[in-house]
Chain A
Amino acid sequence: MQTDLFLQAYLGGMLIGAGALALMLFNGRIAGISGITASAFTTKIQEGGWRWAFLAGLIIAPLITAMAGYTLPDRIPGSLLTLTAAGILVGAGTRLGSGCTSGHGICGLSRLSFRSLIATLLFMGSAIVTVSLVRYVF
């Protein structure tokens, strides 16, 4: 078993939880990355500036962890066509469905929200079906 990797993933997950919790404890906001991103562009900077600050932290963080050896992946797999289709689906799907892995998955499940539970099961399920179709059928 890759226990070291599992522990690293668990500790990384705890940091994600701590970041989401900080945003709730100090800003009173759900750490839903899709919602924060979409609203950052549509809210006035005076009211929505915290969104840009959060996103800036998200973008800068890997530059800091890189100093400790935790880096971003060397390459992003997939053709530009696939990534374009995937990006549109992720963007449209998360707005229609009011959330993604963070908003529904972490915050919603922690709030014991039935909507978030169903959304999480559906996007996990459709992602698993998609990967299986791509790898074993087409």
Chain B
Amino acid sequence: MKQMLTALIAGLLFGAGLTISTMVDPLRVLAFLDVFGDWDPTLAFVMGGALTVYLPVYQFFIKPSKRTLFNEPCHLPDKTRLDAPLLVGAILFGIGWGLSGICPGPGIANLTQGSVEIFVFIAALLIGMIGVKRAKRSH
């Protein structure tokens, strides 16, 4: 129950940040990615703001102890080496992001926007995720 409540608060903060920062607007995202055209640098400030908060606390508090404030172990990724799925996956994700201006967080935060377009995008996103899961399982 405690875990549900803290995760809900985290999601609310994250979603509020996405909306206030205008990261939820695909047109703004596409203008940020259009570096050879009329480049809009606004979203670089979003990443800067997020790193300003997360990086120091992670480095000075989480990294040494690897435990939460409730003294439970943190679940941290243990992979360190580059592999083909990472490289191929990142490139494919970038193509989809460039086509739509929507990455997963802003996509989900946009659900109450309520258009056919956002539901089609999220349905396709879930199909893509399921496809990879199926493919991994069959190997």
Contact = CB atoms under 8 A, between A and B. Distances in A.
A75 B67 CA distance: 42
A82 B95 CA distance: 11
B112 A62 contact: yes
Given A80-B117, A97-B85, A61 B14 contact: yes
A19 B14 contact: yes
Nearest to A92: B128
Given A6-B45, A77-B101, A80-B120, A57 B91 contact: no
Identify whether the interface residues of A are mostly helix, strand, loop, or mixed: helix
Contacts of A135: 34, 37
Interface in A79-138: 80, 82-98, 100-102, 104-107, 109-115, 118-120, 122-132, 134-136
Nearest to B21: A12
| Interface residues on chain A, size class | 35 or more
Given A9-B49, A17-B17, A50 B132 contact: no
Contacts of B115: 75-76
B58 A111 contact: yes
Contacts of B123: 87
Interface in B1-53: 3-27, 30, 33-37, 41-43, 45-53
A83 B117 contact: yes
Contact of A34 (B47, B122, B129): B129
Q: Which 4 pairs of residues, A with B, have the shortest CB-CB distance?
A: A57-B11, A13-B49, A12-B21, A97-B89
